[in-house]
């Protein structure tokens, strides 16, 4: 496998890294409870950071009017507010930076005719989704300003899911543009199993998206034991007034059970894929799958450690960051499994 680098692929790779970065920034913004510190959406003037004490007092007074402050953070000082404000501001600032990183090079590449028509629809779709993502971001924040002390788990999941869709399209296009597949099989042994790698990718995508429901409802804090639920095989649910599918999005016991159980299904699928590959070829011909296995095992260990330690921020952020790597490697394996081999 060889990689062809040109200005178009460099741009796509820059976007890929930037999207990964903002997912992590957004993750820390969520973990540090900073997301509701800015109570307005000002697409243009919102880029300005408050420096004077007067500006800070104005921003703080806005925050003091929402339920999160009144019910949770009523003893917060101005200096403490500045910390959470910075992370939400930085998250929004970096989102604007990605917008410019997308738009300015795109105009240049279009003028210079550097974008193959085959990829143009995908590139325009990324731009459209970036615009939609900005609105989803504010839609999410708005849900936590009145009548709640946190954002809606549905809108949080929508926001994270859209981020991974944008990341997936961008990275897949980078692979299509930049990677030339040859008959050298030392990196990844090609089989006729495109479907199973697509299934693996979709399973990982679902687990990531559902992880936002876990985060949005704080379901991960419900049990600090594994693999049991406080010594029981299934979580005990008391006084549950919900019925039907709503339980899987609003009842914490259901949510954490589904998240853990689906991880087990993922493990079985990964074991099956390894069985297919390593019964047909040696380890030396499956470096990429080995890399995936290591990342996958690390993700499981992070999840278990998070459970026992009541989800400290550094492990939660590592868990989210590792999920990004897992997602990108699964896309790569899927692309390699579906791309026909070509001669040099």
For position 343, what pLDDT does the model report?
A: 38
d(CA 77, CA 253): 35
- What percent helix, strand, coil does the chain show, rounded to 5? 70, 0, 30
pLDDT on residue 242? 82
Global pTM value: 0.93
* pLDDT at residue 214 in the model: 97
Question: Residue 287: pLDDT band by 50, 70, 90 thresholds?
Answer: confident
- d(C-alpha 153, C-alpha 173), whole Å: 30
**Residue 40 · residue 219 · CB < 8 Å:** no
Tell me what pLDDT residue 341 has: 43
Report pLDDT digits (tens) over 292-344: 999 999 999 999 999 999 999 999 999 999 999 999 999 999 988 875 544 33
Query: pLDDT tens for residues 134-172?
Result: 999 999 999 999 999 999 999 999 999 999 999 999 999
Residue 122: burial class (beta carbons within 10 Å; 0-12, 13-18, 19+): middle
Write the CB contacts of 82 (distance below 8 Å, at least 6 apart in sequence).
56
Residue for token digits 């339920």? 67
Closest alpha carbon to 131 in 110, 103, 156:
103
pLDDT for position 57 = 97
Among the listed residues 233, 234, 219, the one whose alpha carbon sits nearest the alpha carbon of residue 303? 219
Predicted confidence at residue 240, as pLDDT, reads 80
Report pLDDT for 189.
Answer: 61
Q: Which two tokens stand for residue 94?
A: 């970096």
Q: Does an H or E element contain 180, and which?
A: strand 179-180
Distance CA 92, CA 137 (A): 9
d(CA 259, CA 269): 16
| Burial of residue 151 (number of CB atoms within 10 Å: 0-12, 13-18, 19+) | buried
pLDDT of 82 higher than 50: yes
Average pLDDT of the chain? 91
Q: With 70 as the cut, is the pLDDT of residue 208 above it?
A: yes
Cα–Cα nearest to 24, from 327, 319, 326: 319
Q: pLDDT tens digit string along 47-62? A: 999 999 999 999 999 9
Rounded to 5 degrees, φ, ψ at 226 are -155, 140
């Amino acid at each position: 496998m060889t990689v062809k680098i040109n200005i178009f692929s460099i741009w796509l790779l820059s976007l890929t890294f930037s999207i990964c970065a903002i997912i992590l920034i957004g993750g820390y913004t969520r973990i540090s409870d900073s997301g509701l510190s800015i109570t307005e959406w000002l697409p243009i003037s919102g880029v300005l950071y408050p420096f004077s004490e007067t500006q800070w007092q104005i921003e703080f007074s806005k925050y003091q009017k929402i339920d999160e402050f009144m019910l949770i953070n009523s003893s917060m000082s101005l200096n403490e507010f500045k910390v959470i404000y910075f992370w939400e501001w930085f998250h929004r600032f970096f989102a604007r930076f990605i917008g410019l990183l997308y738009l300015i090079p795109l105009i240049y590449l279009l003028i210079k005719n550097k974008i193959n028509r085959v990829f143009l629809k995908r590139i325009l779709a990324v731009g459209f989704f970036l615009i939609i993502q900005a609105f989803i971001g504010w839609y999410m924040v708005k849900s936590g300003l009145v009548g709640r002390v946190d954002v809606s788990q549905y809108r949080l999941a929508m926001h994270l899911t859209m981020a991974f869709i944008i990341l997936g399209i961008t990275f897949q296009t980078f692979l299509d543009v930049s990677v030339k597949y040859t008959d050298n099989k030392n990196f990844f042994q090609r089989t006729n199993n495109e479907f199973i790698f697509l299934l693996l990718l979709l399973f990982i995508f679902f687990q990531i998206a559902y992880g936002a429901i876990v985060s949005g409802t704080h379901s991960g804090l419900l049990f600090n034991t594994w693999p049991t639920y406080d010594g029981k095989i299934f979580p005990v649910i008391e006084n549950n007034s919900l019925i039907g599918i709503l339980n899987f999005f609003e009842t914490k016991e259901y949510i954490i059970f589904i998240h853990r159980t689906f991880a087990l299904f993922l493990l079985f699928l990964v074991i099956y894929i390894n069985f297919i590959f390593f019964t047909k070829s040696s380890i030396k011909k499956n470096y990429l799958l080995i890399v995936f296995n290591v990342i996958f095992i690390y993700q499981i260990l992070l999840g278990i450690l998070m459970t026992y330690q009541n989800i400290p921020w550094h492990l939660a952020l590592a868990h989210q960051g590792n999920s990004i790597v897992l997602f990108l490697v699964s896309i790569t394996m899927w692309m390699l499994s579906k791309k026909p081999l070509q001669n040099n």
